Structure 1
Amino acid sequence: MRRILVVGISGAGKSTMARALSARFAAPYHEMDALYFNGPGWAVNDDFADQVAEITASPAWIFDSFGYPAVRDLLWERADTVVWLDYRRRVIMPRILRRSLRRTILRESIFGGNRETVMDWFRRDHPAWWAWSQHAARRADIQRRADDPRFAPLRVLRFGTPRSAAEWLNERPAS
């Protein structure tokens, strides 16, 4: 496992898992949202797809996303392992609500110096709304990709609970 893609819906813990895998396997972790949003006002990085292509050409990497269509196929084609955090809504919703509430109240800087605001909570692309409304569709899309012969012999590790994912991670020897 040298090229790892961590997937799941918002709030599943993709970034947390990716950081843990990076520490465990001594492979560089790349936060997809931080690459995509590179400035205030949620400015989009015009070189995003090229940067991801360059990173994925290297022998070892870890990414924490599924959501960017411009690079989705590339990531699945170049990964050797997909870690799928396939958690139910009752698991992810409290997580995403706590995270967004903390970010809003504390005015935490995220991705290119941006911040979540109270007004953001009323937008359809807010992480909480997104996680709720896109849960089933995201799950089905990941399953289709996991079953797609184009991506064979990709190893897909699917975890239905945070506990099973943590147990698996703890059983991995460090590189």
Structure 2
Amino acid sequence: MSTPPARILVYGVTGSGKTTLARRIGERLGVPWHSVDDLTWEPGWVAVPPEVQRHRIEAICVQDRWVLDHAYGAWLDVPLARAHLIVGLDFPRLLSLGRLLRRTVLRLVRRDRVCNGNVESLRVSLSRDSIVLWHFSSFARKRARMRRWHADPGRPEVLLFRRPAEVEAWLRTLG
């Protein structure tokens, strides 16, 4: 890649490593990266209203340089309209699910603070609001969306990675 992209959307299934990759891309390119979960959850696991989420994302996406680690359907059009590059993490289900389970267990044990100081709980992890259940309910939809984008010549460039080693090789080409 001759000129590094300045506006990047990292997209993938739940547990694929979007936040970690967005942070790494931002650091490598010197581009501000934004954790969408921090923009959409307030302390106490209070969801930010969709119109406020949209406003926050619009404020980021009007900038010349950014990396977002995800895009919720309610405002997906905003980063898509401005992104130079979409990085799709199209990993096999067992890989992303394994990462998600490992991350969830570690956060539960260590009481890690995430999303504006929130802490994951065993009760929520086992409830119908579980991130693991969300993985199962959203996997096919997100995977199909990435693949449609990749096949659409009218979209910004889409890099579709199917293995972590491909991501690592690409990262070495940046910066």
* TM-score when normalising by structure 2: 0.90
How far apart, CA to CA, are the structure 2 residues paired with 1:160 and 1:39? 34
Change (3 A) 1:153 1:69: closer
In structure 2, the residue matched to 1:165 is 167
Matched, 1:114 2:118: yes
- Is contact 2:36-2:70 (8 Å) kept? yes
In structure 1, the residue matched to 2:64 is 59
- Is contact 1:8-1:65 (8 Å) kept? yes
In structure 1, the residue matched to 2:129 is 125
1:96 maps to amino acid:
L
**Secondary structure in structure 2 of the residue aligned to 1:125:** coil
- Is contact 2:90-2:146 (8 Å) kept? no
- Is contact 2:150-2:159 (8 Å) kept? no
Render the CA deviation track for 1:32-89: whole Å, top value 9, x for unaligned: 01001122233425622111101101110000003x1221011111101000010001
In structure 1, the residue matched to 2:7 is 3
- Is contact 2:9-2:68 (8 Å) kept? yes
**Secondary structure in structure 2 of the residue aligned to 1:12:** coil
Change (3 A) 1:163 1:117: same
In structure 1, the residue matched to 2:20 is 16
How far is 1:112 from its partner? 2.3
Matches within 5 A, 1:18-37: 18-37=22-41
**Secondary structure in structure 2 of the residue aligned to 1:87:** coil
How far is 1:148 from its partner? 4.4
Aligned residues: 170
Identity across the alignment (%) = 32
**Secondary structure in structure 2 of the residue aligned to 1:7:** strand
2:165 maps to amino acid:
R
Which deviates more from structure 2 when the two are superposed, residues 51-60 or residues 33-42?
A: 33-42
How far apart, CA to CA, are the structure 1 residues paired with 2:27 and 2:80? 22
Moved over 6 A (4+): none
How far apart, CA to CA, are the structure 1 residues paired with 2:17 and 2:134? 15
Matched, 1:88 2:73: no
2:45 maps to amino acid:
G
In structure 2, the residue matched to 1:47 is 52
Instruction: Give RMSD over aligned pairs.
Output: 1.6
How far is 1:107 from its partner? 1.5
How far is 1:110 from its partner? 1.1
- Is contact 2:18-2:89 (8 Å) kept? yes
